[in-house]
Amino acid sequence: MLQLILILAALGQLPTLLAQKQQWRPAPSSTASVNPQQQRPLLIDDEVHFNQTLNSILVPRVVGSQGHQQVLQFLVQSLTNLGFQTELDEFRQRVPVLGELQFTNVIGYINPTAQNFLTLACHYDSKYFPNDPNFVGATDSAVPCAILLNTAKTLQPFLKKQFLNRSDLGLMLVFFDGEEAFKDWTNADSVYGARHLASKLAKTRSVLSGTNQSIRNIDRIEVLVLLDLIGAPNAKFSSFHQNTHGLHTSLVQIEQSLRKAGQLQGNGKMFLSLPSGGQVDDDHRPFLEENVPVLHLIATPFPDVWHTPKDNAEHLHWPSIRNFVKVFRSFVYQYIRLHTEPVNLRYQRG
Ligand SMILES: *[C@@H]1O[C@H](CO)[C@@H](O)[C@H](O)[C@H]1NC(C)=O
Ligand SMILES: *[C@@H]1O[C@H](CO)[C@@H](O)[C@H](O)[C@H]1NC(C)=O
Ligand SMILES: *[C@@H]1O[C@H](CO)[C@@H](O)[C@H](O)[C@H]1NC(C)=O
Ligand SMILES: [Zn+2]
C-alpha cells in the first residue's frame, strides 16, 4: 500500500486518503477539459451500440428458458467480438419450484495472465414470476449488463493498447447466472452463479509469470464492481463497503467533474459521498466471504418498478442511464490508466 501511494504521489496523483488506510482510488479526471487528446476515449458515447446491446438482452431470460439461452449466446459473441477471452462456468443445480436447472456464468478476460484483475459484474438472468412470463427486468439487470458491454466497446481502442504489454492488471467481465431467487430470497435460494464461481476461483490457483508463487484465483480480483438496479429515475448510489470507500469517492468526484464540464444531464446527484449504514445482499456475498473487496453500485432505495411488470423498456429513464454510462466509463478508464502496482484493499485479518 505504502508503495502505491508513493508512486501515485510521484505522478502528482496523490489520492486523498479517507478515514482508513488502504483507500486507494484513481484520482478524478481533473484533466478532462485540458487534455482532450488523452481524454478522447472518455468522450465518445456509442448509444447505437448500447441500444442494440440492450435490445438483445431485454427479453424474458429465466434460467432454463429459450430467452436465457439466446442471451447467453449473445454475451459470448459480444465478448469475443470485443477481444475478450471467454470462459463459461457451467453447472447443474436443483432449485425451488423449477427443479434441476443448468446455470452458466459467462466470464470475459482481457490480459488473462495478468497478476490482478479489475472485475466488473452484473447478473443476466431475469426473475421467474409464475404469473408474469413477460417480466424482462430492465433495471434488474439488463441495463447493467448492457453498460458493461458498452463500456468495453467504447474503451476498446484504449484497452487494446493498454494491455499489450502490461502484467500488473487485466480486465475481467462477469455475467452471473441465477442471481434471482426462484421462490423466496434466502442464502440458499439466490446468487447461484456467484456462489459457484466464487467457490471455483477459491479452489483453483495460478502461478504468476516471473515468480514461483501460486495464488488462489479469487485473490487476483483486486475489486469486484457489481452493478445492479440501474436505469430508473433519481437513482442514488451509496458507499456500502468501507474498504472501497475511496473508489466510491472517485465516482463522486468524476460525476462532479463531468457535471461541471457540462457532460451530464440534470442536476440530481447519483453518487452520494456519505457511507451508507447497511449493505444490500447480492451476487457479491460469496466474494465478500472470501475477503474480495467489493464496490456495489446498486440504486437504493430500489427503483419503484423493482420486481414488477413495469421494470421494462418503457419505464427506463434515459438521462440517468446516459449519466451513469459516462461516469462509469471514466472510472474504468482512470482505474486502468493510473494503476501501476497491485492494489490491496482487502481487510487485514488477524
Ligand atoms: C436509444 O433508445 C432510446 C429509447 O428508445 C432512444 O430514446 C434513443 O434515442 C436511442 N438512441 C439512439 C442513438 O438511437
Ligand atoms: C508499454 O508500451 C507503451 C507504448 O507502446 C510504452 O510507453 C510503455 O513504456 C510500455 N510499458 C512497458 C512496461 O513495457
Ligand atoms: C523458481 O524455482 C526454481 C526451481 O526451484 C528456481 O531455480 C528459480 O530460481 C525460482 N524462481 C524464482 C523467481 O523464484
Ligand atoms: Zn431482482
- Decide: 211 in ligand 3 pocket, CB within 6 A: yes
CA separation for the pair 35, 38 (Å, rounded): 6
> What CATH number has the domain bearing residue 186?
3.40.630.10
Task: Find, among 145, 150, 144, 152, the residue nearest to 320 by Cα.
Answer: 144
Contact (CB, 8 A) for 7 and 341: yes
Residues with CB under 5 A from ligand 4 (ion): 127, 140
pTM: 0.89
Helix, strand or coil, per DSSP, at residue 6? helix
**Exposed, middle or buried: residue 129 (CB in 10 Å: 0-12, 13-18, 19+)?**
middle
CA of 305 to the centre of ligand 4 (A): 11
Please tell me the residue having the least CA distance from ligand 1 atom 7: 318
CA separation for the pair 35, 85 (Å, rounded): 32
51 CA closest ligand 1 atom index:
1
Q: Could you tell me if residue 77 is inside a domain? A: yes
211 CA closest ligand 3 atom index:
13
Q: Could you tell me if residue 346 is inside a domain? A: no
Q: Which residues line ligand 1 (CB under 6 A)?
A: 47-48, 51, 318
Q: What are phi and psi of 271, to 5 degrees?
A: -95, 115
What residue numbers bound the domain in which 83 lies?
A: 36-234+282-322
Helix, strand or coil, per DSSP, at residue 171? strand
CA of 179 to the centre of ligand 2 (A): 40
Best of 207, 208, 212 to mutate for ligand 3, by most ligand atoms within 8 A of CB?
Answer: 212
How far CA 216 is from CA of 120, 133, 171, 207, in Å, comes to 19, 40, 17, 9
Residue 179 annotated among the catalytic residues of the structure: yes
Which residue in the list 140, 180, 228, 283 is annotated as catalytic?
228
pLDDT score at 48? 98
- Decide: 214 in ligand 3 pocket, CB within 6 A: no
pLDDT score at 18? 26
Contact (CB, 8 A) for 269 and 254: no
pLDDT score at 267? 87
CA of 51 to the centre of ligand 1 (A): 6
pLDDT score at 255? 97
- Ligand that lies nearest to the alpha carbon of residue 142, given by its number in the listed order: 4
Q: Could you tell me if residue 266 is inside a domain? A: no
What's the order of all strands across the beta sheet hosting 169-176? 85-95, 99-110, 169-176, 116-123, 221-228, 294-298
pLDDT of the chain, 350 residues: tens digit per residue: 222 222 232 222 323 322 233 445 565 444 333 344 445 545 689 999 999 999 999 999 999 999 999 999 999 999 999 999 999 999 999 999 999 999 999 999 999 999 999 999 999 999 999 999 999 999 999 999 999 999 999 999 999 999 988 999 999 999 999 999 999 999 999 999 999 999 999 999 999 877 888 999 999 999 999 999 999 999 999 999 999 999 999 999 999 999 999 999 998 999 999 899 899 999 999 999 999 999 999 999 999 999 999 999 999 999 999 999 999 999 999 999 999 888 999 999 75
CA of 336 to the centre of ligand 2 (A): 14
Q: Give the number of domains in the chain.
A: 1
Task: Find, among 187, 127, 139, the residue nearest to 304 by Cα.
Answer: 139
Helix, strand or coil, per DSSP, at residue 102? strand
Instruction: Provide the grid cell at 124.
Output: 443476466
Q: Could you tell me if residue 226 is inside a domain? A: yes
Q: Could you tell me if residue 121 is inside a domain? A: yes
CA of 170 to the centre of ligand 4 (A): 29
- Decide: 37 in ligand 3 pocket, CB within 6 A: no
pLDDT score at 28? 46
Q: What are phi and psi of 141, to 5 degrees?
A: -135, 50
Please tell me the residue having the least CA distance from ligand 3 atom 4: 212
Residue 228 annotated among the catalytic residues of the structure: yes
